[in-house]
């Protein structure tokens, strides 16, 4: 949605990463953006204007002194008739020109003439990235308001060398461009949110633990959705295999007690959404050493003790956030259990779902939830977890506005 109708001027400079720019053009266009390419002479050594032109479905601009191009569009209009100038890959040379205001070819001239936001995706050998001259240029460009995505660490395409210098992947560049182009309303701007997500691991001994099937997908999606509406989000995540969401401060914990401490440290907040599947019990005294199996000896029994209830703690806290939301993963009597939970935990809203194995919800990509509050129960249709998150974030914004 953010890209729909947006015009991106894509400057491709001369590095081997230019081959990824072809995919980048596709990714931007399939999201609804139009892409007008500018190529330096170096870029044309790596990918052809024919390929770039075919993928972008636009004229490829290469020459500052092309009489025809100057007559048709002109370099000043090229620099201004867009919503974002994206440089991918940005070579050390082009960055040096930008930092010094040089304008000796079309790309550098456009970069000097533009009044639009500029996002660059550097790509170069790690030694070039770490060179004092490049560091000076990076600092200058940042101070000039130029935005960066990457470079990433990893192996270089052209050599067996590893280090920082690899261009960000096309989808990472798309995500960074999306942030810059996003002009959607931010109803949660100035609001602080704490979200918990994922399972907890409760140690039995140094190698064993008690866990559950939570993937963290729903909680992470909610953290990201709140951030997209402008909230300042702290996500406290148990052990998960999914990536940290963008635009969110993520704190990684293992045990319920660590999760509680991290949540309490993040207070005060306006919103708390406790999505984590916190283990109700932990082993009363986890062993420091691996518990050994001795032939003939009796099987060990695990004495359990109750974990802190984080939602309940927050719901009754002196610094209680204005809006406290819990989840209720149930396999039976979903409505009545959720209503009881609302009271017991001091929550304003419970998002209840049936996690019976047949629903595939636990660990899956979709969810079917009921919103239980003192005003009643609302059933939402089966949706992707990302859509549940977006709808919930909007509901949160509405509830906060209503006070
Ligand atoms: O009591 P139950 O575990 O069903 O409650 C679920 C809700 O309470 C979820 O929002 C969950 O994140 C939260 N919870 C918690 N700390 C616990 C147990 C559950 O925050 N120890």
Question: What is the CA(275)–ligand 1 centre distance, in A?
Answer: 8
- What confidence score (pLDDT) does residue 129 get? 96
pTM of the model: 0.74
3-state secondary structure string across 162-189:
EEEEECCCHHHHHHHHHHHHCCCCCCCC
Average pLDDT over residues 163-170: 92
The torsion of the CA quartet 131, 134, 140, 145, rounded to 10 degrees, works out to -130
pLDDT above 70: residue 29: yes
331: pLDDT confidence band, cut at 50, 70 and 90? confident
144: pLDDT confidence band, cut at 50, 70 and 90? very high
Q: Is 137 a catalytic residue?
A: no
Is the shortest distance between the CB of 327 and ligand 1 below 6 Å?
yes
CA-to-CA distance for 371 and 10, rounded, in angstroms? 44
Domain boundaries, given as residue ranges, for the chain: 7-181, 192-402
pLDDT above 90: residue 202: yes
Question: What is the CA(9)–ligand 1 centre distance, in A?
Answer: 48
Whether the bond into 151 is cis, omega within 30 of 0: yes
Instruction: Kindly state which CATH superfamily the domain 192-402 is placed in.
Output: CoaB-like (3.40.50.10300)
C-beta of residue 343 within 8 angstroms of C-beta of residue 367: no
Is the shortest distance between the CB of 276 and ligand 1 below 6 Å?
yes
Is the shortest distance between the CB of 60 and ligand 1 below 6 Å?
no
pLDDT, one tens digit per residue, over 344-392 is 999 999 999 887 777 777 777 889 999 999 999 999 999 999 999 999 9
From the list 379, 380, 371, the residue with the least C-alpha distance to 338 is: 371
pLDDT above 80: residue 159: no
170: pLDDT confidence band, cut at 50, 70 and 90? very high
pLDDT above 70: residue 158: no
Is the shortest distance between the CB of 328 and ligand 1 below 6 Å?
yes
> Which residue's CA is the closest to the ligand 1 atom numbered 9?
327
308: pLDDT confidence band, cut at 50, 70 and 90? very high
Question: What is the CA(285)–ligand 1 centre distance, in A?
Answer: 22
What is the topology classification, in CATH, of domain 7-181?
A: Rossmann fold (3.40.50)
pLDDT, one tens digit per residue, over 241-281 is 988 887 899 999 999 999 999 999 999 999 999 999 999 99
List the catalytic residue out of 100, 125, 130, 212: 212
Question: What is the CA(328)–ligand 1 centre distance, in A?
Answer: 7
- What confidence score (pLDDT) does residue 364 get? 78
Domains 7-181 and 192-402 share a fold: yes
């Amino acid at each position: 949605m953010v890209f729909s109708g947006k015009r991106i001027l894509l400057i491709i400079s001369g590095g081997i990463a230019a081959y990824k720019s072809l995919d980048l053009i596709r990714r931007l266009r399939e999201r609804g953006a139009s892409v007008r390419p500018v190529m330096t002479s170096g870029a044309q050594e790596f990918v052809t204007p024919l390929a770039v032109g075919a993928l972008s479905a636009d004229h490829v601009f290469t020459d500052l002194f092309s009489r025809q191009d100057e007559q048709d569009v002109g370099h000043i209009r090229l620099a201004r008739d867009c919503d974002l100038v994206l440089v991918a890959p940005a070579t050390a040379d082009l960055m040096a020109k930008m930092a010094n205001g040089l304008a000796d070819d079309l790309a550098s001239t456009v970069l000097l003439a533009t009044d639009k936001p500029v996002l660059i995706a550097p790509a170069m050998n790690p030694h070039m990235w770490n060179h004092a001259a490049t560091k000076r240029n990076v600092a200058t460009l940042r101070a000039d308001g130029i935005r960066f995505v990457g470079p990433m660490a990893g192996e270089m395409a052209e050599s067996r060398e590893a280090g920082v210098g690899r261009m960000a992947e096309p989808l990472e560049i798309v995500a960074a461009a999306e942030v810059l182009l996003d002009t959607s309303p931010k109803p949660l701007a100035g609001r602080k949110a704490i979200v918990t997500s994922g399972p907890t691991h409760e140690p039995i001994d140094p190698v064993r633990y008690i866990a559950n099937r939570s993937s963290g997908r729903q909680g992470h999606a909610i953290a990201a959705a709140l951030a997209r509406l402008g909230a300042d989000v702290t996500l406290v995540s148990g052990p998960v295999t999914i990536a940290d969401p963008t635009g969110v401060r993520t704190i990684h914990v293992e045990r319920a007690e660590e999760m509680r401490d991290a949540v309490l440290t993040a207070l005060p907040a306006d919103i708390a959404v406790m999505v984590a599947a916190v283990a109700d019990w932990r082993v009363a005294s986890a062993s420091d050493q691996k518990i050994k199996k001795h032939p003939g000896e009796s099987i060990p029994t695990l004495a359990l003790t109750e974990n802190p209830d984080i939602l309940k703690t927050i719901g009754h806290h002196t610094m209680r956030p204005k809006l406290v939301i819990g989840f209720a993963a149930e396999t039976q009597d979903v409505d009545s259990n959720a209503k009881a939970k609302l009271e017991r935990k001091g929550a304003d809203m419970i998002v209840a779902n049936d996690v019976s194995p047949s629903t595939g919800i636990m660990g899956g990509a979709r969810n079917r939830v009921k919103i239980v509050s003192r005003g009643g129960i609302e059933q939402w249709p089966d949706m992707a977890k990302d859509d549940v998150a977006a709808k919930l974030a909007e509901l949160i914004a509405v509830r906060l506005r209503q006070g």
